Amino acid sequence: MICMRNTEEEFKKKLTPEEYHILRERGTEPGFSGKYTNHKARGVYYCKACGNKLFESDTKFDAKSGWPSFFEVVHNAVELKPDNRFNEERTEVVCAKCGSHLGHLFDDGPEPTGKRYCINSLALDFKEH
């Protein structure tokens, strides 16, 4: 269930134009450009737009895809939606708290889930343990 606390104007004030484009306009940052692509610190990744806890660092893996990848999400932190843009059938990952676009889910991840949450660095904040 989405709990929209911010208006679009508030999101525009809080986020950089690039972050806004990714999170609120369903954009994608260029591959291998994000600061969390090769990030290895231990901690927690949060939604940049609302601070919702999304991923633990011990679920991050190197998918060599150009974007941060995780095999598991924090329980109930995201919603999955069909995304048929660009004549492709994909699964969009959005923040369950604010509805912001985070990235996409693929079924080519490692065990134990077999999932790959492919997430834009600009959609994330990180706090080290």
**What are the catalytic residues?**
118
Residue 110 corresponds to which amino acid? P
- Say whether 55 sits in a helix, a strand or coil: strand
Q: Which helix (H) or strand (E) holds 10?
A: helix 8-14
Helix/strand/coil percentages in the chain, nearest 5: 20, 30, 50
First to last CA, the chain: 29
